[in-house]
Amino acid sequence: MIEIDALQTFARDMLPALEQEMRTVLAQPAASPSLHSEPATSLRSVQALRLSKGRPSYCQNELLMTGSNNNTTNSDALVIFMPSGRRGRVPHGTSLLDAARQVGVEIESICGGRLTCGKCQVQVEIGSFAKHGILSKDENVSPPSAEESDFLRQRRASDCRLSCSATVRGDLLVTVPEESQARKQIVRKSATKRVIEIMPAVRQVYVEVEPADLWDHRGDWERLQAALAGQWQLDAVYADTFVWRDLQTTLRQGKWTATVTLWQEREIIDVRPGYHEGAYGLAVDVGTTTVAGHLCDLRTGEIVATESMMNPQVTYGEDLMSRISYGMMHSDGVAVMHKAIIKALNQLAGRAAAQAGIKISDIYEVVLVGNTVMHHLLLGIDPVELGGAPFALATHSAIDLKARDLGLRLHPGANVHIPPVIAGHVGADNVAVLLAEAPHQQDEMMLIIDIGTNGEILLGNRHRVLSASSPTGPAFEGAQISHGIRASPGAIERVRIDPQTLAPRFRVIGDERWSDEWPAGSGNGHQPTLASGICGSGIIEVIAELFLAGILWPDGRFNPTLDHPRLRWQGKSGAYVLATAGQTSTGEPILVTQDDVRAIQLAKAALYAGAKLLMNRAAVTTVDRVLLAGAFGSYIDPKHAMVLGLIPDCDLERVYAVGNAAGDGARIALLNRDKRLEAQQVTRWIDYVESAVEPGFQEEFVAAIHLPHKSDPYPHLADILPGQPDRTQSGRSGRRRQRRSLDE
């Protein structure tokens, strides 16, 4: 068992100390990893390596990093805004709107605090949130005035507060809904073009029913059954309960003609008078951080709308283990998280229907995919057993149930299909990736990595497929990074560093120009979108570029022999100024700190170690193709990912992104019922490797912390990787000058 505090300590130390600590741990007696015995955990929860203690200060304004600055006092209240995770201390009596602005969270407000626009609605979360280290009480926010209460009641938003009116009286955790965010976060989970044979579980047929008369004593249901058997060869059908209630009225309204909607050729889920066209289905990838859905015409397979949003459960924990912990620590925790995701799915379905111009009652089926914790929370099942060995699932089989039983407001007879899961930490989303990319039908050795808060990995070909998961945590999505933000306008997403001058240039979401192309001074040309932070693809590229430029050593430390205006130091810990104060929206520089580098090293090492375990098990040293899946994987530059050591060596032309493969797999399952059977068969054929208890995981993890790796070769990067650093040289200027601290 590995103590969290020990891991936090060695994660901040130099790599030799890191390796020694790990080897000391490995020498200790083994124990079964479990979340039931906090604070101990295993490398299953390597995302618990939070760099939250002893963080050095590199910037004058620590408000965005630690929630405190020189102007705060002990009486100030801590306010944390989700889903951005930004925090700060503000004086009592500060409005939530002003508090948000102080920490860099932009909330919509058109009326200027006059309680007329209602754009600034937020939700104040009540309870103890150990993940965020905060106790958010109801009395810590001012009670609503009569005017605010009336305003919210009229808009059916009684569970919200107007941030312009509510004031801070103590520590608070506040959720800013997507519709209230001035800078909407960008969820990059679009569908890709794929050839799918259309054979949905739901279809519509038109029938002519024999009218009732005095000489025929059959009921209207029996007449409908006879019509389906005679005209469509559909025998032994049965009807959903609510169909019976309106059947007689429907048949007479249609003058004994009707359109019957069936599920799996056996259950009647809707009967409409006369001829009617329009059956739709929703394929949804329920990720730990984001939720994306594709609304499809079930007859043609066409995607008629795509909607995405942040997973509201982020408020209760950014990673899976945090949500399991929240459910353990709060008696209503599982119910709260279940209601949150069901509400989000209803919102997503409503928005998709509105975008497509259809009624939400035209949605007859939903396919939901997600990791095992999301799977359990969707169903209202406590995922606590997934937190410790043997990581037992409630069920690993495919599930079909009525949408209404989950609280989804679609057609009353709509069905929900959830594909099978593979093992305790490999869920239906990985099965969906399997359907989309079909490694079990390939001759090449294919490595598929779905990069997210919980990285899921597939390796194999038609002869054998192995699967594993690696707990990478939310660092790749900007969390745990001092200036990290999720993808939104102003987020740095691309970085290049000149290896000679060590000067950076970057590109932000919302502006295609590089920072060195921005106009100088105000009023000169199109003004740039100033940088507000670094998103996941940006942090990958900046660390890889720092390494290629020699600013970082292979062990992840900043090169102490360099003297450059972009480097700042706090003791032995370095930081690199990526964006100057004049290039940012906050007026403060954006830095890449030693702790940022360590957080990415830990995350990438966990992912690489998982892939290497599968390669070892398959007895291969190289792979023929590497596919990067998921919203994050779609925007990673393959070269930078390989330089970082996120993936094994491979021909760069054979490394490419496949988009939201889990969402595509969900769409395949929605549109082809035979693929559901294939998923069940292949899922039981796959070999699963549990990294949490695999003896070699920890050794592979330690070796993978180096950039790109301590011992594994990268021949395809031989021309660009820097040589081993000369740790005795005195710097590029020829002499060692006093290193710059922040105050210079």
Of 308, 364, 406, 235, nearest to 671 by C-alpha is 364
- Residue ranges in 361-469 assigned as alpha helix (H): 372-378, 403-406, 428-437
Domain boundary among 545, 567, 599: 599
Torsion sign (Cα): 435, 438, 441, 445:
negative
What mean pLDDT comes out for the span 338-361?
96
Distance, in Å, from the CA atom of 46 to the CA atom of 388, rounded to the nearest integer, reads 13
| Nearest-angstrom CA–CA distance, 308 and 293 | 6
What is the average per-residue pLDDT within 592-605? Answer: 94
Are both 213 and 148 inside the same structural domain? no
Query: For residue 477, what pLDDT is reported?
Result: 73
Domain-located, residue 715: no
pLDDT above 70 coverage of the chain, percent: 84
Rounded to 10 degrees, what is the CA torsion of 557, 609, 480, 564?
20
Same domain, 549 and 594: yes
- pLDDT band per the 50, 70, 90 thresholds, residue 110: low
Residue 542, in any domain of the structure: yes
The CATH number linked to 99 is: 3.10.20.30
pLDDT digits (tens, 9 = 90+) for 148-165: 888 888 888 888 999 999
Higher pLDDT, 38 or 378: 378
Query: Residue 586's pLDDT is what?
Result: 81
Tens of pLDDT along 442-485? 999 999 998 877 788 999 999 999 999 887 877 777 767 888 88
- Residue 172 and residue 249 share a domain: no
Helix H or strand E encompassing 482: none
pLDDT of residue 525: 55
Each residue's pLDDT tens digit, 619-659: 999 999 999 987 677 788 999 999 999 999 999 999 988 88
- Are 491 and 586 part of one and the same domain? yes
Q: What is the pLDDT of residue 538?
A: 93
Instruction: Name which of 271, 268, 297, 269 is nearest 358 in CA terms.
Output: 297
Instruction: Judge whether 229 lies within some domain.
Output: yes
In a domain, 536, yes or no: yes
200-250 residue pLDDT tens: 999 999 999 999 988 888 999 999 999 999 999 999 899 998 898 999 999
Report the distance separating Cα 160 and Cα 693, nearest Å.
44
State phi, psi for 126 to the nearest 5 degrees.
Answer: -110, 130
129 and 224 assigned to the same domain? no
End-of-domain residue from the set 599, 625, 643: 599
pLDDT tens by residue, 135-145: 999 999 999 99
Decide which of 659 and 353 is more confident: 353
Determine, yes or no, domain membership for 148.
yes
Residue 689 has pLDDT above 70, yes or no: yes
Q: What is the CATH number of the domain that holds 245?
A: 3.10.20.880
* Token couple for 676: 């559901």
pLDDT at 191: 58
Query: Distance between terminal CA atoms of the chain?
Result: 44
C-alpha span between 408 and 212 (Å, rounded): 37
The answer to whether residues 208 and 101 belong to one domain is no
| Confidence bin at 496 (pLDDT 50/70/90) | very high
Query: Do 507 and 588 have their domain in common?
Result: yes
**H or E segment at 308?**
strand 303-310
> Do 153 and 93 reside in the same domain of the chain?
yes
CB atoms inside a 10 Å sphere around CB 116: 10
Could you tell me which residue, 612 or 488, shows the higher pLDDT? 612
**What is the C-alpha separation between 276 and 206, in angstroms, rounded?**
8
Computed over every residue of the chain, the mean pLDDT equals: 84
Query: What per-residue confidence (pLDDT) applies to 731?
Result: 45
pLDDT surpassing 90 at residue 75: no
Do 488 and 585 lie in one domain? The reply is: yes
76 part of a folded domain: yes
* Rounded Cα distance, 118 and 109, in Å: 8
Examine the domain organization and report whether 480 and 595 are in the same domain: yes
Q: Is residue 278 part of a domain?
A: no
Domain count for the chain, please give it.
3
State which of 245, 273, 301 marks the end of a domain.
Answer: 273
pLDDT band at 740 (very low <50, low <70, confident <90, very high): low
Considering the domain architecture, whether residues 95 and 166 belong to the same structural domain is answered as yes
Residues 136, 207 share a domain:
no
Give me the mean pLDDT over the 187-192 stretch: 54
List the helix and strand counts (H, then E) for the chain. 19, 31
15 belongs to a structural domain: no
* Domain range enclosing 242: 202-273
pLDDT at residue number 74: 56
